[in-house]
Amino acid sequence: MHDFYYKSRRFCCESVDVTEVARSIGTPVYVYSHKTLTDHYKKWDRALSGVEHMICFSVKSSSNIAVIRALVRCGAGLDIVSGGELFRALTAGADPAKVVFAGVGKTEEEIALAIKEGILMFTVESMGELELINKVAGSLSTEARIAVRINPDVDPGTHKYLKTGKKQSKFGLEMENAYEVYEAVNAMPNVAAKGIQMHIGSQITDAAPYVESLEKMVPFSERVKKICPGVEYLDIGGGMGIVYTNETPATADDFAKAVLPLVKETGLKLIVEPGRFIAGNAGILVVKALYVKRTPSKTFVIVDGGMNDLIRPALYGARHEIVPVVREERETITADIVGPVCESGDFFAREREIPAPRSGELLAIMGAGAYCFSMSSNYNSRPRAAEVMVHGGEFEVVRKRETYEDLVRGESVPDFLL
């Protein structure tokens, strides 16, 4: 599942002692396992080997160019949601012919860049977007490939911020409205329909919502193929869940077993877009305990990382395991583990039982490989953490810790204030 473990008392990533990383790079620091990342990719590749398929890693989950590069070298395609992610993909050496571009608000500039680079296809989320893609492709004297994102109206049973495939969601189009989009493609000279796409949510631990969606997508795809015979791909999105604490998510094999029969019925090539599944358990955030503050009603462990570094507990009420980097016999305390940011939402855990840390000791926040660094900010003017990638017994910084100069880069005082 991942390559973080205790070697006697010391927490390691692959064969690297996490304490060594913190000593040489400082804290807070993200540590990624190259092996875990690529193993997770290979699990999907094996699970889907019965059908023609492409695995497009979702760049927004973990966007460092070293992470992208590691997966591209395994043969991964990429799922992107912005021009910035396209730039990252190209910088990491991705093949544009394996890139799919999703998102409800693509700008004209982003569309033009993606067409010039020759991406596989856009996932179209509205008629207005289709018209713009057609216009931009026309002005570049070319044809752009598209898939229409379908909102199958299923409830994936996850946090409300992580549902994207319900009728009330801003994402995708209902099947009844999507037919006319495929018909519109036929009437436009500079777009070609290549696929059908869906993405129903994130941290989905059961294959059932995918099966429920695909049961609707199979007859839908039959009608779409009659309208647009050039449709080749069925893209079922990402969203497959992982273990954070006590979840028992379906494995890649479980998902494959449940969905492949339906995919085969469509006769289309399969695309999946996992993000969290590949990256989530491939990273940790290492922080240092600064103070243990005891008040009459509570105990707080104050650490040097904050919600600006890892916002999932504050944003989704997410629960991450937190473990000592050096394990020792200690009394256990029940404490809130909090950061230095001036917000009451700045916590990593509440009422958590942990071996009482001493000031200066290191803690590892588990499951921090996806939607953690990529969501980090400079709030409270805190430089962003460093990122490190471990490979066997070696580690390398893949993003330097930001400096104070980085914080004010691009800012200036206007003349009238001089």
Ligand X SMILES: *Cc1c(COP(=O)(O)O)cnc(C)c1O
Report the nearest approach of ligand X to the CB of residue 244 (Å): 13
Q: What is the dihedral of CA 218, 223, 226, 232, to 10 degrees?
A: -30
- The answer to whether the beta carbons of residues 71 and 46 sit under 8 Å apart is no
Which helix or strand (DSSP H or E) is residue 303 part of?
strand 299-303
Q: Is 56 noted as a catalytic residue in this protein?
A: no
Size of the site for ligand X (CB under 6 A): 18
Min separation Cβ 159 and ligand X, Å: 11
- Contact between 58 and ligand X (CB under 6 A)? yes
Reading the block at residue 376, the tokens are 């980090």
Q: What's the closest the beta carbon of residue 316 comes to ligand X, in angstroms?
A: 12
Q: Determine the Cα–Cα distance for residues 145 and 99; give it in Å rounded to an integer.
A: 11
Tokens 């992470």 found at:
67
Interaction between residue 237 and ligand X (CB under 6 A)? yes
Position 152 contacts ligand X (CB under 6 A):
no
- Least distance in Å: CB of 118 to ligand X? 20
Out of 21, 102, 130, 390, which residue is the one contacting ligand X (CB under 6 A)? 102
Answer for which of 209, 238, 357, 369 binds ligand X (CB under 6 A) is 238
Q: How far is the CB of 371 from ligand X (least distance, A)?
A: 7
Residues 6+ apart with CB under 8 A from 67: 32, 37, 279, 389, 398
The answer to the question of residue 126 lying near ligand X (CB under 6 A) is: no
Site for ligand X contains 172 (CB under 6 A): no
Candidate list 40, 98, 163, 199; residue touching ligand X; CB under 6 A: 199
Tell me if 71 sits within 8 A of 54, measured CB to CB.
no
Which lies closer to ligand X via its Cβ, residue 151 or residue 202? 202
CB of 202 to ligand X, least distance (A): 3
Q: How far apart are CA 124 and CA 130, in angstroms?
A: 6
Identity of the residue, 220 or 277, whose beta carbon is nearer to ligand X in the bound complex: 277
Instruction: Lay out the sheet containing 4-7: strands in order across.
Output: 4-7, 10-13, 16-17
Amino acid (one-letter) located at 341: V
Token couple for 225: 């193929």
79 binds ligand X per the rule CB under 6 A: yes
Q: Which is nearer to ligand X, 83 or 383 (CB)?
A: 83
Residue 184 · residue 127 · CB < 8 Å:
yes
Instruction: Name the segment binding ligand X (CB under 6 A); options: 25-33, 209-217, 231-239, 294-302.
Output: 231-239
Q: Which helix (H) or strand (E) holds 13?
A: strand 10-13
Active-site residue, selected from the candidate residues 12, 56, 228, 342: 342
Any idea which residue has 């995919």 for tokens? 263
The per-residue DSSP string of 44-75 comes to: HHHHTTTS-EEEEEEGGGS--HHHHHHHHHTT
Counting contacts by CB under 6 A, is residue 281 touching ligand X?
no
Site string for ligand X, 261-280 (x = CB under 6 A): ------------xxxxx---
367 binds ligand X (CB under 6 A): no
**Which residues, at least 6 apart from 68, have a Cβ–Cβ distance to it below 8 Å?**
57, 59, 78, 88, 89, 92, 94
60 part of the interface to ligand X, by CB under 6 A: yes
List the one residue from 33, 64, 82, 202 that touches ligand X (CB under 6 A): 202
User: What residues make contact with ligand X under the rule CB under 6 A?
Assistant: 58, 60-61, 79, 81, 102, 199, 202, 237-240, 273-277, 370
Q: Which residues are catalytic?
A: 342
